[in-house]
A and B are shown apart, each in its own frame.
Chain A
Amino acid sequence: MEKSYIVKQISIFSENRPGRLAAIAGALRDAGINILAFSIAEADGFGVVRALVDRPEDAYRTLTDLGFRVSFTDVIGVKMRDEPGGLSDIASILGDAGINIEYAYAYSGKDAAVLILRVDQVEDAVRQILARGGELLKASLSR
């Protein structure tokens, strides 16, 4: 049950220099893979590109074959109202449930805005959010 809400994010190691994002995005374009959401986290000389794509397995294989260091990460997507207060509602649910966020990023799509979360105890988080009336993105949406 909880598993159907766990979304596979691909995480890609990237050096912090011009052209690296272009190389990653270009490879996904050539493979016909659509990026639903993404973010870049940067540190000292390197970064991690995190992305939700429509075909994670294909994206993993495509990038690995090109020599990129890639891993899968379990994340969840919490739907938000795309209007003032949307993030506030969701953040309150997470806070009340005692869920600690490792990192988060968001996108505003056709149907709703979505907050993508990397949390410690992902199955527990799914249960807590659903119990408090939150709505989660189905993993099958990213296939």
Chain B
Amino acid sequence: MAPWNPRTEEMPLDDLRRLQFKLLKSLVYRLYSFNDFYRRRMKEQQVHPDDIRALEDVAKLPFMYKSDLRDGYPDRIFSAEQNELVRYHVSSGTTGKPTVVGYTERDIENWSESLARAFSSCGLGRGDVMQVSYGYGLFTGGLGAHYGAERVGATVLPTSVGNTERQIELMQDLRVTAIACTPSYLLHIGEVAEKMGVSIKNDTDLRMGFLGAEPWSEQMRGRIEDWLGIRAYDIYGTSELSGPMFTECAEQQGIHIWGDLALVEIVDPATGEVLEAGEQGELTITMLQKEALPMVRYRIGDLTAVEEGTCACGRTHPRIGRIRGRVDDMLIVRGINVFPSQVEHALLEIPQVGRHFQIVVDRKGALDSMLVRVEVSEEAFSDKITDLMVIKKAVEHRLRSSLNVSVDVELVEPGTLPRFEGKSKKVVDRRSL
């Protein structure tokens, strides 16, 4: 698909790296001069802006964490005065105090530009109708996708989350061609549509989805694409970066991170050491042009790897692979690191059980126990207990071999595992530590 901004998107890698260095250097000087919080951090780490002599010197700079935003609540680490801001967003604060992010006019402009490049790399443009089923309001998803889609000339239908039957009616009546929402909400839409007697594949014009705000997998993509008859693209971002910012292109070979806006590093979650391209680690991003709330070496907590090299689509900017999980979602069960995404991957390879699951971790005596609850699929249900026990054992075996920890599987009735309309909560940890 044709680039939105060809000069930038197809810039030779050497030129891109020179541009990144220039932007980094001016960012660091600006912060050292005007941002009390980050100057203090740099002094603690005994690094001065003059120490940044090459792009690789970014590794000398101190990290930033989510806790820095919480501690600086609401706006103590901002680099702009309130009268320069055009918007706030506020994170939900499900894992602690809420965090506030602010935007100057230029921050909103760059956010929209980033998504305009992303959406057009998948072929979204004038003539499309984009249903934005991310939440509008304090959450960045709704307004972010909204501005990006308007920028490329698409017609936006701002449905936000909820009232799913109405969303499906509008999708049909207004001939929606694209949707932005969480993958679990799109599955929910598909299920509700079927109950209404509507096939998304045959009875709507929907042809693409921008799915994110929670981890999902290649197998899940395959199911969504086959079932709903659409192309499903991964979209990525967090409120600290601005919001949803980056997507895959039509090649579906990783998420393009626009290098003039964001500098990507992958670091070892334990040591903070920078890892090579291709190695899995914690995604760390420096926002090179953000004005209101600068983020330098921000440890996002998502696990992925970076891929360098020009994409088949011709864009030169680095790409990140699928998010493999959260550093802080990681469960430690009997000393073994377990990510819910691993369970999801394993289950998608077992047709006898459904795609929804719940993990329950408990402690019996001194020993951790891990239970995975799954729904028996319609095709696999048998009136014979022995057949069902075979399924249960097969799922236990499959999970054990991919997680390296023994797992009990519980077969539950269909529709009883929670379907969430937002970020999925798939883990119940009952251990009192």
Contacts and interface: CB of A to CB of B under 8 A. Distances in A.
Contact of A13 (B381, B389, B410): B381
B413 A68 contact: yes
Contacts of A48: 383-385, 388
A67 B414 contact: yes
A48 B376 CA distance: 12
A68 B40 CA distance: 61
A68 B410 CA distance: 16
B382 A71 contact: yes
Contacts of B170: none
Q: For chain A, what secondary structure do more than half of its interface residues adopt (helix, strand, loop), or is it mixed?
A: strand
Contact of A44 (B384, B389, B412, B415): B389
Interface in A81-121: 102-103, 118
Given A13-B376, A44-B389, A46-B388, A71 B413 contact: no
Given A11-B383, A13-B376, A102-B384, A67 B413 contact: yes
B378 interface: yes
Nearest to A14: B413
B413 A69 contact: yes
A43 B385 CA distance: 7
Contacts of B411: 13, 45-46
A43 B381 contact: no
A46 B410 CA distance: 8
A45 to B, nearest CB: 5
A103 B384 contact: yes
Contacts of A102: 384
Contact of A118 (B378, B383, B388, B392): B383
B416 A69 contact: no
Interface-centre pick from B384, B410, B411, B413 (highest chain A CB count, 10 A): B413
Nearest to B377: A69
Given A13-B376, A43-B389, A44-B389, A73 B414 contact: no
Interface of B: 376, 378, 381-385, 388-389, 392, 410-416
Given A43-B388, A69-B381, A71-B381, 17 more contacts: A11-B381, A11-B382, A11-B383, A15-B413, A42-B385, A43-B385, A46-B388, A46-B411, A47-B385, A48-B383, A48-B388, A67-B416, A68-B413, A69-B378, A69-B413, A102-B384, A118-B383
